[in-house]
Homo-oligomer: A and B are copies of this chain.
Amino acid sequence: MRTLNVDLGARSYPIYIGENLLSTNKFLRNHINDKKIVIVTNETVAPLYLEKLANILNPIKPLKIILPDGEQYKTLETIESIFTKLLENRCARDTTVIALGGGVVGDITGFAAACYQRGIDFIQVPTTLLSQVDSSVGGKTGVNHPLGKNMIGAFYQPKCVLADISTLHTLPERELSAGLAEVIKYGLIADKKFFDWLKNNISALLKLDSEAISYAVETSCQCKADIVASDEQEKSGRRALLNLGHTFGHAIETGMGYGVWLHGEAVGCGMVLAAKFSQRLGWITEDTVEEIIQLVSAAKLPTQLPKELSANKILELMSIDKKVKDGKLYLVLLNNIGDATLTCDYDHNLLNSMLKDLHHSA
């Protein structure tokens, strides 16, 4: 078991990472006292881990809210249904909400906690690789709008994150791969050594080798915690590096309809697009792009644009991304493996022509 710390002054919190953490109340205990507890989870996770989590909270009897499973439910309507449940059960400001599940459950629950009575405590218990290495850490919460992904939300930090890597054994293969997309991202933006380690250990990770998974989750969380501590609200541009592949990826997710591609799949493909565009700008070599494609592909992630989306459609969807400033679309691009930059200093026509080329060859 290892404890990392996200250093945010009064909003600092620990991330507990290890096996079988859902078998003990040792970690949650310090963060909940005798408060009223609400667990928010979904139909897929509930049969697997809801009773386990409820049991370790004993003698507190938590209120349980079970959402339908899927990105398509990451909406304001779902948020409103949570508020209704909380109000019907007279949950006051001293309630703590626990998000049990993947990124969608965490994002929805965190945003509901941020807004309910202008903010109540919440805890993240991520049960997917993607949420353990990325979405449960850093306080980005929110829901989608039909016109754009994650367009509605709040920066709102949890009181702690409990990442029990044993839960990954119930994860579908496709979601494991989706999580690996974010793991690869940390190597690409900040840690060439980790990227090289991933190349050598990708099959151990796909087999859920315990030591390899522990190392990958810890390294990823540490990377994210460091970046978030240096730029909590994405103001200096440093935090924005975490969005490598995400501007392309969000456009793919939104364009295909939420839930058709998994977020991690879209990010995997998005990172390849970012690498290819970096190459077109002359920033990295074709060999480097190939190295990245190899790893993304070895993680069983898509590396090609979906045929259904035209270049124009993708550009249109990218133009309402949160990275637009002064009318310019900022992209995270690569100077090298382990070295990323946020920039709007590129030829927009080049982006256009690359997407057209890739669409034709898709």
Q: Is the CB of A118 within 8 A of B145?
A: no
Residue A92 contacts which of B90, B153, B322 (CB distance < 8 angstroms)? B322
- The answer to whether A256 has its CB under 8 Å from any CB of chain B is no
Q: Is the CB of A324 within 8 A of B155?
A: no
- The answer to whether A114 has its CB under 8 Å from any CB of chain B is yes
Minimum C-beta distance from A307 to chain B (A):
26
Of A81-89, A222-230, A274-282, A354-362, the stretch lying at the interface with chain B is A81-89
- The answer to whether A174 has its CB under 8 Å from any CB of chain B is no
Chain B residue numbers with a CB within 8 Å of A153 are: 115, 117-118
Chain B residue numbers with a CB within 8 Å of A324 are: 90, 92-93
- The answer to whether A325 has its CB under 8 Å from any CB of chain B is yes
Q: Mark A138-152, 1 if CB is under 8 A from B, else 0.
A: 001010011110011
Closest residue of chain B to A147, judged by CB? B87
Closest residue of chain B to A118, judged by CB? B153
Minimum C-beta distance from A248 to chain B (A):
18
Closest residue of chain B to A316, judged by CB? B90
Copies in the complex: 2
Q: How far apart sit A261 and B180, CA to CA, in the bound complex (Å)? A: 56
Q: How far apart sit A326 and B91, CA to CA, in the bound complex (Å)? A: 10
Q: Is the CB of A80 within 8 A of B76?
A: yes
Q: Is the interface of A mostly helix, strand, loop or mixed?
A: mixed
Closest residue of chain B to A142, judged by CB? B118
Q: Is the CB of B154 within 8 A of A93?
A: no
Minimum C-beta distance from A322 to chain B (A):
5
- The answer to whether A320 has its CB under 8 Å from any CB of chain B is yes
A320 and B151 in contact, given A140-B118, A142-B118, A145-B84 (Cβ under 8 angstroms): no
Chain B residue numbers with a CB within 8 Å of A83 are: 145, 151-152
Q: Mark A149-178, 1 if CB is under 8 A from B, else 0.
A: 001111100000000000000000000000
Q: Is the CB of A117 within 8 A of B151?
A: yes
Minimum C-beta distance from A24 to chain B (A):
26
Q: Is the CB of A147 within 8 A of B84?
A: yes
Minimum C-beta distance from A119 to chain B (A):
7
A-B contact pairs, 25 of them (CB 8 A): A83-B145, A83-B152, A84-B147, A87-B145, A87-B148, A87-B320, A88-B147, A90-B320, A92-B320, A92-B327, A93-B324, A94-B325, A94-B326, A115-B115, A115-B152, A116-B151, A116-B152, A117-B152, A117-B153, A117-B322, A118-B142, A118-B154, A118-B155, A119-B154, A154-B154
**Extra inter-chain contacts (9) besides given A76-B76, A115-B152, CB under 8 Å:** A76-B80, A84-B145, A92-B324, A93-B324, A94-B325, A115-B142, A115-B154, A118-B142, A118-B154
